[in-house]
Chains A and B, each alone.
Chain A
Amino acid sequence: MRVPLTICRRDFLKRATALVGGGALLGVGSLGCGKRSGNGAPQEGAGGSGTRPRVAAATAGSLAYDLVIARKAPAAELVRLAFDQLGGMDKLVRPGQQVCLKPNMAWAREKGSGACTNPDVLGAVIDLILQAGVAAKDIVVFEHTRDAFTTAASFSEIQAVCDARRIALVNGDSQQVYDAQEAPEGTKFLKPFGENEEVASDLMEADVVFNMPVLKQHSATGLSMGMKNLMGAIYNPRRYHGGKDADPDSGSQELDERIVDLTVLLKPKLTLTVLDATFVLREAGPKGDIGTPGDELQTLIVGTDPVAVDSAGAQIFGMAPDKVGHVKAAADRKVGEMDVDKLRASDRLAEIDGPAGPAKGQADADGAAPTDSSDKAG
């Protein structure tokens, strides 16, 4: 068979476009994440960032507390308790809003190890958001993992949690999903017209952002909590570790100061920090050794002030907050409140007892700190 094939330029261009486009779509279609739910109701002003009218986010003032600590219950129950105390999820999200959740899913570690956010906590929060009337397609879970995305998502069971609820779990490997953000006032290393920060556009364009870290020991920053977890929402966290144009005066505290910079940048976007302390990784953090179960503290800390949540987290861990470099630095720079007792908190930390009782005084904190790295910073 000889099909007479005469081809002109226009034909060629048509075919080439179809071929390339088709191939690309094939690739796109075969790996689409988060199945489409509903018929994708058209949104007003579907365009780039900023054109979509925002539904006003709930203000902190409308909540019953600034900080809630829920304890001694299964993970899903903790979430329900905490949000009930806050005043209900309805105060935080409304139907039609875009919601971004930022768990800690950095590593290929199992539920219960304390290296990643407990999938049960994440799942329960998503369920509450869905019950509040937000469509599944308007919720996105974002993470820039450290281990390979697929293994981290599957071992942490977060992929399963998202799939079961038809929520998109977005892989932050591609630089294209980040937008450079101009440095705001009050940063040290981020400078206007100098060093920008590439932040996940899913987070920046969401109406409601829940930072959902896990409480764990960290070899570089003493502890990893809410502020540290924000490093998984940027493209290049590697730069934080002593870049070549680093401020020579800041010395070894540069990492801490940069984490505070990031908090300054993102704090206006953060609706809530949900700190998971159901299982706590006490040593070899942030990743931990395989098979080492986390310390089961059955605690959840929810609050509007990222610094206060981290401060409470440090105390739950058994460390004085001012011994955690970036928490201290954030308080010094007035980014948030380190003294939890000054807030409208549901519990006084001092009244909490049990195996993970907080550091009553700062004297016993040193002993509990697994590395001395925080001493230097603090």
Chain B
Amino acid sequence: MPFPPTRRLRWLVQVLFLIGFVVLLDITVVPLPEGLPTDLYLRLSPLNGLVTMLARREILYTTLLPGLATLLITALFGRVFCGWFCPMGTTIDVFERLALRRRRYPLPDPKRLDRTRPIKYVLLTGMLAAALLSFQPAAFLDPISMVHRSYIAVVHGPIHNLAQDARDVAYRPLRARGRRIQPGAAPRVYHLNAVILAMWGTVLGLSAVQKRFWCRHLCPLGALLALVAHLPLLRRRVADGCTHCMRCERDCKMGCIQEKGRSYRSRECILCYNCESICPVDAVSFPLGAGPEPGRDSSHQLGRRRLLGGAAAGVLWMVGVRTSVGHARTAGRSDLPNQLEENTKSPRRIRPPGALPERQFLQTCIRCGECMKVCPTNALQPALGEGGLEGLFTPILVPRIGHCEERCNACSRVCPTGAIQNFRIEEKRDKFILGKASINRSTCRPWYGGKKCSICDEHCSYDAIDTRMIDGAERPVVLEDKCTGCGICERMCPVTPVAAIEVSARDERRPLVDEGLSPLSGFTSQ
């Protein structure tokens, strides 16, 4: 039985937008395509923009504009974003169709649903409260950020590696037939992909309990859109012919139909048109109109107590996370380091070039993973503890995996929030210092073993390593004033697994880029 037109159209739109999402992720590689908004979906989330601007206390136009469009569409038509466009929602739908095909969901119990649905408002309030106190909460809960991170680390990584293996296998047989392909490139690794999968898997797995469990009960972006969808123009109408067969109530993705199909919670409705398509007597329709509808229940179950509870939870969350790493302070200047933070920062917390000063960086970075996807050497990895618990999933440079390529600014071009500021390649070497390299003289071969080796000197892009005659042998020394901490020396050092020359975040320099962000930087950046 084919879907009726609207439902079929919805599936088509969903699939197309998911394909668009995957394609945009896929082309987020060096060389970056000119003028394509690779971070469009991230910007479509108004929640990302809102919490980032709250945390930064600054208007970020780049992040704002597409999110405003989402809000506008939601205000006009209801939560179509959730039902038609959200890559997380579509992923959940696809997962349900494939993995939970045989699942027979029980008839939803409106009373029980009403008890748990408000959790998302509590989470939203918590996020906003934390953001007001300069804490970036998107890392944990924003679905758009999560879905990017997950596709990059969990889906793209393995598929890429499989494809490279296939190239390697096919390379010689094809060559023997006079056909040449590029052999496999280096495999991609994403530290913590298991942690990221666990988080994502939980979101998907909850669908075994109820359809779109995440969207119904937990999604803070959905909560924000539900608040905006106050008087949508598309409203569900049930004609008199309704037989109260309950099929729509059972089939509703969001469990928002009640009273035997007669009424629905309009803030929960994501306009999936399931009820319209499944009605055996064609009694359900979504006409465009502004008049009151008898079956529309627009209450939001927000409650003062829940708001306060959510806000308190957000504050506790923020303070708790910060206390765990020794910088519980929230007030004060975010652009200047404080001494405790300086003393306790992990030496391996090496930030990409152009990264804002650490406190601002943590406030601005939404942990989407775009920089890790685009990094041509795979050097950028999600942090576990290196940036503190607050820095979970933020990008750090892992030199043993890859180095910061001298003539590359790809991460700064794809960052949706400007946590990695957009800079020109020419200014990279003079402006930013990721850290400093230092030589371990008890493992370095020329220092300890008397061998001739100057791999670090050879590879250094900044002429920051000098091979000098010291005590009768040629030995490398680091010229501190030239070293930018790119890590190519550590990557190439033949001493394994711990290199004899290592970069630490010591003396990092992370100035603000003068010109700031242009309102359209992500779309037109060089």
Contacts and interface: CB of A to CB of B under 8 A. Distances in A.
Interface of A: 1-2, 5, 20-21, 23-28, 31-34, 36, 40-43, 46-48, 52, 108, 137-138, 140, 146-151, 154-155, 168, 170-174, 176-177, 201-202, 218-220, 238-239, 241-243, 246, 251-256, 284, 286-287, 289-290, 371-373, 376-377
Interface stretch (B58-66, B163-171, B305-313): B163-171
B176 A47 contact: yes
Contact of A24 (B2, B162, B449): B162
Given A31-B167, A146-B458, A238-B455, 4 more contacts: A48-B176, A148-B30, A242-B446, A290-B407
Contacts, number: 187
B1 A27 contact: no
Given A24-B166, A28-B163, A43-B178, A174 B185 contact: yes
A47 B173 CA distance: 7
B467 to A, nearest CB: 5
B294 interface: no
B101 A242 contact: no
Nearest to B457: A219
Contacts of A256: 452
B377 interface: yes
Given A1-B2, A43-B177, A220 B183 contact: no
A129 to B, nearest CB: 16
A29 to B, nearest CB: 8
B182 A147 contact: no
Given A27-B163, A151-B405, A174-B184, A220 B179 contact: no
B453 A242 contact: yes
A151 B163 contact: no
B469 interface: yes
Contact of A173 (B179, B185, B407): B185
Contact of A151 (B159, B170, B408): B408
A27 B463 contact: no
Nearest to A136: B180
A151 B494 contact: no
Contacts of B2: 1
A133 to B, nearest CB: 16
A173 B179 CA distance: 19
A41 B449 contact: no
B160 interface: yes
A264 B498 CA distance: 33
B352 to A, nearest CB: 15
Interface string B423-465: 0000001000000000000000110011111110111111100
Given A33-B180, A46-B177, A252-B451, A154 B461 contact: no
B452 A242 contact: yes
A239 B494 contact: yes
B407 A289 contact: no
A220 B185 CA distance: 28
Contact of A176 (B180, B184, B452, B463): B184
B457 A220 contact: yes
Nearest to B160: A27
Contact of B180 (A48, A137, A149, A172): A137
A220 B454 contact: yes
A52 B176 contact: yes
23 contacts: A1-B2, A24-B167, A27-B159, A27-B166, A31-B181, A41-B178, A43-B178, A46-B178, A147-B405, A150-B31, A151-B405, A154-B31, A173-B186, A177-B168, A177-B171, A241-B452, A242-B453, A242-B494, A243-B494, A246-B451, A254-B452, A256-B452, A373-B474
Contacts of B463: 284, 289
Contact of B454 (A25, A168, A172, A219): A219
Contacts of B182: 31-33, 168, 170-171
